[in-house]
Chains A and B, each alone.
Chain A
């Protein structure tokens, strides 16, 4: 376990008494936050006074430097995995990001927990990393968690191999790598990048981990569309087999979705101002939220042909889960007390389960800032509906599974056994 100095946990919230390197460069009063800005944004945002940093912070060489490097071959300086993952970490793996706040409530960094599941299916943190504010995590895919961290001058892309408890340094980039995901083949990483000075969209890039050399752009920047305004967030999702990359670009209210076939380069754009966040993909069809300011909110499906179809009119958190009868849409009832399994074709409620107080359906990693991969040996579907405290995977917290074929939520342990 590695922690940066001068960071401590005080009570429930994560507080830092010092700014992390990435945060210092962007939040310090003497620095300017680079970036494109909303239409009404007229100048850089700085804080009144930089927080005191007792003793200063030493430079960090890679955000995961406290973790031993995996035994990897290198070619032209590019670290390569020794083997392509063949399936999930047998124990299952997970991660979670939490904001690190300074005593004033400013985001000073992000704390990443990564780990495996215990024999009884409880997430257990193996490692904790304090990352700059501009950081992300994705996966796990075959026990590997992609970690991106930007220190204000360089973005570092790494992976944690939970099974071997080691790190793989993937790349450092002068551009801001805002998001990255690992494809199911374990060898391909897709990245979304921004220009460092302007934060302009630089498009989507693909990196082959088995080949030396850098990444190549596979999708250009998203064109401006005044109906959507500036892009607030961009998220990457691969469909089940990894054949198609879904790029979700959300304005303040609505989202645009580009679907890329990396093999052919073909791109399909969905740009309807009524569409919101991506929930997931089933049988090649994207399921999305309507563009809602809050919950409950409808869930829609984009059919191969024709107009979007409402699957559920009023849903809380929503995810797709696979079962023996096919894929089901799992949604929280608006009162948050139940999880319902809904037939994606008919909209009929097939099953329901009571959520214990405090437990919520775990939505996509982009919302929950957490992710989990269930052990393959459990015989359970790789894509399962999970319930956890506050809807987020967490260290030592119970994790319950809603199998669309089962009548109720089960402890993960029961499912594994």
Chain B
């Protein structure tokens, strides 16, 4: 008998608005609540993801082998996906005899209107199909740019389209653009494929909002890896000291810990340690309102941990500060303030004063 645990069949009514959200069996991911808005991570399908970092293989479908030009483009797209996913998403490579076929020509899995299509069923497998060069649509003839020595305007870039399909295989649904399409290049996985020479038609790496969704679903590859600027993640910063009171001139260690905030909307990124960022230590005299930067806190061995030793000569309030990086989708954060009391030296010999911070 069939196991239908993963097969969802149910009756339910949709409002028209809801239908727009259901399109493509998609759910919307992001740091904000649905509905999708532009410059937010791509929506994702409701199905499972692949095992993180899984090496997926494919091979040309027997009897429907793509022309050599398209083979080259598809292989390049696999490399593009592996290189630019910015996450622990599955990787793609061709392996002869793989059970995941890539076909050229007629496929029942393709809708009547697509130039390429896919099926995905993690962890079992996937398929990708491409329409043949010269396929007739109502508007005219399908042309793949790779089939020409000098690609004409109006052709579709097969490497770009293959990357779109591999993004679908990962779990990405189509990006939601501004109405004027000004953010089109934020994603390769798009509802409307652009033909040459429109902007983005030959993008050969995932856009930042593709990467954002992949990171949310598959996590980042390391704690020091950059977060897509299509994200806007709240961070948390804590600060602790090795002692709450010391004698003047005595060395004290400060430890800051930087993480992604604990928010279920952040999915796999939730409470991730953030390593290799810039965290500074600041102090102010008790009662003062202005802070002075003591220095950048060095990256420590622990995940998301930063340490600094100093020898304060007076009582100060201390805090750690993480400024919003220009090239990452992380928000700034400031740790709660802590006070380290410094007592004067009463027994000789005292530690050298004035050498501390």
- A residues lining the B interface (CB < 8 Å): 11-13, 23, 26-27, 33-38, 40-48, 97-99, 101, 104-108, 133-134, 178, 194, 199, 201, 229-235, 250-255, 272-277, 289-298, 300, 306-314, 316-317, 333-338, 340, 342, 345-349, 352, 354, 360, 362-363, 366-369, 390-392
B201 CB, min distance to chain A CBs, angstroms: 7
Contact present for B121 and A252 (CB under 8 Å): no
* Given known contacts A234-B138, A290-B24, A340-B7, A363 and B108 CB-to-CB distance under 8 angstroms: yes
Cβ–Cβ < 8 Å partners of B174 in chain A: 253, 293
CA distance A23 to B132 in the complex (A): 13
Residue B19 at the A interface, CB < 8 A? yes
Q: Which residue of B lies closest to A12 (CB)?
A: B63
Within 8 A of A (CB), among B2-57: 2, 4, 6-16, 19-20, 22-25, 46-47
Q: Looking at chain A's contact residues, is the secondary structure mostly helix, strand, loop, or mixed?
A: loop
Known: A290-B19, A335-B124. A312 touches B9 (CB 8 A): yes
Q: Are A44 and B8 in contact (CB under 8 A)?
A: no
Give CA–CA (A147, B8) in the complex, Å.
39
Residues A253 and B4 in contact, CB atoms below 8 Å apart: no
Q: Which residues of B contact A346 (CB under 8 A)?
A: 11
Closest chain A residue to B153, Cβ basis: A42
**Shortest distance in angstroms between B58's beta carbon and chain A's nearest beta carbon?**
15
Q: Tell me the bound Cα distance from A311 to B195 in angstroms.
A: 35
**Known: A277-B112, A334-B7. Contact between A105 and B138, CB under 8 A?**
no
Q: Which residues of chain B come closer than 8 Å to A43, judged between CB atoms?
A: 152-154
Q: Which residues of A contact B188 (CB under 8 A)?
A: none
**From A232, A273, A307, contact of B137 by CB (8 A):** A232
Q: Which residues of A contact B147 (CB under 8 A)?
A: 47, 104-106
Q: Assuming the A-B contacts A313-B46, A316-B119, are A13 and B105 also in contact, with contact meaning beta carbons closer than 8 angstroms in the complex?
A: yes
B70 within 8 A of A: yes
Q: A106: which of B23, B24, B133 is its contact (CB, 8 Å)?
A: B133
Docked pose: A45 CA to B134 CA in angstroms: 10
Are B153 and A232 in contact, CB atoms less than 8 angstroms apart? no
Count of chain A to chain B residue pairs whose CB atoms are closer than 8 Å in the complex: 279
Determine whether B318 belongs to the interface, using a CB cutoff of 8 Å to chain A: no
Is A276 a contact of B138 with CB atoms below 8 Å?
Answer: no
Task: Point out the residues of chain A lying under 8 angstroms from B64, CB to CB.
Answer: 12-13
Known: A107-B136, A231-B138, A313-B46. 10 other contacts (CB 8 A): A42-B153, A252-B193, A274-B23, A308-B19, A309-B13, A337-B2, A340-B2, A342-B9, A349-B4, A392-B108
* Set B10, B68, B110, B168: member contacting A347, Cβ < 8 A: B10
Query: Which residue of the partner chain A has the closest CB to B120?
Result: A294
Q: How far is the CA of A36 from the CA of B141 in the complex (A)?
A: 10
Interface string of B217-257 (1 = CB under 8 A from A): 00000000000000000000000000000000000000000
Which residue of chain B has the shortest Cβ distance to A352 in the bound complex? B2
B109 and A294 contact, CB distance less than 8 A: yes
Q: 23 A-B Cβ contacts within 8 A? A: A12-B64, A13-B63, A40-B195, A48-B150, A99-B105, A107-B133, A235-B112, A250-B113, A274-B19, A274-B20, A293-B118, A295-B120, A308-B14, A308-B19, A311-B11, A313-B46, A314-B7, A317-B109, A333-B4, A338-B2, A349-B7, A349-B9, A367-B108
Q: How many residues of B contact A (CB 8 A)?
A: 80
Residues in chain B near residue A314, CB distance under 8 A = 7-8, 25, 46-47
* Bound: A131/B200 CA distance, A: 36
Q: Tell me if B191 counts as interface (CB < 8 A to partner A).
A: yes
0 or 1 for each of B77-95: is its CB under 8 Å from A? (1 = yes): 0000000000000000000
- If A201-B138, A274-B19, A297-B24 touch, does A317 touch B108 (CB 8 Å cutoff)? yes
Q: Nearest A residue to B66 by beta-carbon distance?
A: A105
Q: Which of A12, A40, A307, A313 has the most CB of B within 10 A?
A: A40
Q: B133-155: contact bitstring with A at CB < 8 Å (1 yes, 0 no)? A: 11111111101000111101111
Please determine whether A40 and B19 come into contact, CB atoms closer than 8 angstroms. Answer: no
B9 close to A233 (CB less than 8 A): no
Contact yes or no, B111 A276, CB < 8 A: yes
Tell me whether A307 and B24 are in contact (CB under 8 A): no
Judging by beta carbons under 8 Å apart, are A42 and B154 in contact? yes
B12: min CB distance to chain A, Å = 5
Tell me the bound Cα distance from A185 to B65 in angstroms: 42
Which 10 pairs show the lowest CB-CB distances between chains A and B?
Answer: A35-B140, A105-B67, A12-B63, A107-B134, A391-B108, A347-B11, A274-B19, A40-B198, A250-B113, A232-B113
- Does the CB pair B140–A366 fall under 8 Å? no
Please state if A291 and B8 are interface contacts (CB–CB under 8 Å): no
Asked if B260 is at the interface of the complex by the 8 Å CB criterion, the answer is no
**Pair A44/B139 contact, Cβ less than 8 Å:** no
CB-contacts of B164-216 with A (<8 A): 165, 168, 173-174, 191-198, 201
Whether the Cβ atoms of B140 and A36 lie closer than 8 Å is: yes
Q: Does B352 contact A (CB under 8 A)?
A: no
State A230–B197 Cα separation when bound (angstroms). 18
Q: Say whether B323 faces chain A, with CB atoms less than 8 Å apart.
A: no
Q: Is the CB of A307 within 8 A of B13?
A: yes
Would you call B138 and A298 a contact (CB within 8 A)?
no
Is the C-beta of B62 less than 8 angstroms from some C-beta in chain A? yes
Q: Does B154 lie within 8 Å of A40, measured CB to CB?
A: yes
**Is the CB–CB distance between B23 and A369 below 8 Å?**
no
Q: Are A307 and B19 CB-contacts (below 8 A) given A251-B113, A293-B114, A362-B108?
A: yes
A390: contacting residue among B67, B108, B135, B139, CB under 8 A: B108
Interface contact A307-B14, CB-CB below 8 Å? yes
The complex places the Cα of A285 from the Cα of B1 at a distance, in Å, of 31
Cβ–Cβ < 8 Å partners of A391 in chain B: 108-109
